[in-house]
């Protein structure tokens, strides 16, 4: 996985999250009835918030996996470079 692909995944993840939050903002906001606290969200908004958190957690896991893959590739490249430098010095 290259740095470019990693950056594209991050950008795509951020776009998806923005889309979810826009959907939450576009929901009609009913007036707060007397006796109901302002912190209580309508059921539809709660579901969208739950969905956004689930997707966000999936994106974070994907980013963690991608970062681990990049670290492994970086380690392999460093080992190869050291081996090549040792060969070069030998000749």
Total number of domains constituting the chain:
1
33 part of a folded domain: no
56 part of a folded domain: yes
70 part of a folded domain: yes
> Residue 13's closest CA among 58, 65, 64, 68?
58
Helix, strand, or coil here: 44?
A: helix
Using alpha carbons, list the distances in angstroms from residue 85 to 50, 53, 56, 74.
52, 47, 43, 16
Domain of 51, in residue numbers = 3-28+40-90
74 part of a folded domain: yes
7 part of a folded domain: yes
3: DSSP letter: H
34 part of a folded domain: no
- Alpha carbon distance 51, 81 (integer Å): 45
63 part of a folded domain: yes
pLDDT in tens, the chain (91 residues): 576 777 777 778 778 877 877 777 777 766 666 655 555 557 777 788 778 878 887 887 788 788 888 889 989 999 999 999 998 888 7
């Amino acid at each position: 996985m290259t740095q470019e692909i990693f950056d594209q995944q991050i950008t795509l993840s951020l776009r998806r999250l923005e889309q979810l939050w826009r959907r939450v903002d576009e929901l009609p906001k009913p007036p707060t009835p007397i006796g109901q606290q302002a912190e209580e969200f309508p059921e539809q908004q709660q579901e969208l918030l739950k969905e956004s958190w689930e997707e966000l957690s999936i994106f974070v896991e994907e980013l963690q996996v991608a970062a681990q893959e990049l670290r492994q590739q970086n380690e392999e490249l460093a080992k190869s470079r050291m081996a090549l430098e040792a060969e070069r010095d030998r000749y």
